Amino acid sequence: MSAKAEHASNGEKSAAAADIARISQAMSRMRLMIGRRIIGRMAMKRAAPTLELSHLDVIEAVRRISESSEVTVGAVADMMHVDPSRSSRLISELVQGEFLVRSVSQADARRAVVELTDKARAYFREAQSVKRDLIESIVADWSVDDIAHFGRLYLKFVEEFEQMAKSSEV
């Protein structure tokens, strides 16, 4: 490799390292905002002011689990990394609030399952609306190309991050 090519390569490595440091810093700032549950709080305020943040976690777990299987108290507890007794209490509160309904498993009639109600689905639509409104306001002065480019790269980043998390089960 020529000295010129080696210098360009070192310069590229240095720029990449600086870019990775900026991404890392942005991730830390984003984690703090996500930790404060800004979107969830905004959606709750608009659509479900009686709910608590832990209720939103249960509703989201039920929604995600139901995409591939029946939803049990244990499955919700596993996804949320909480005790089954905590999961059961939260589910009971959401059944009382008419966000979830209990029913009998179609696979095993001895097992109870939970399902989202229309009220929970309406909440999700509102939460998605809040999220879209927030994103639209953030990117309002971005070019169409910048939005498309960011969307592709962000999705790629998150998908690869999910794969890494699944493979290492941190």
Residue 9: pLDDT band (50, 70, 90) is confident
CA atoms within 13 A on the CB side of 124: 16
Task: Give 53-92 pLDDT, tens digit per residue.
Answer: 899 899 999 999 999 999 999 999 999 999 999 999 999 9
Q: Where are the domains of the chain?
A: 1-36, 52-117
What is the pLDDT, as a whole number, of residue 170?
54
Residues 100 and 116: beta-carbon distance below 8 Å: yes
What is the mean predicted confidence (pLDDT) over 8-20? 80
Task: Tell me if the domain spanning 52-117 has CATH number 3.40.109.10.
Answer: no
Distance between CA 41 and CA 97 in Å, rounded? 18
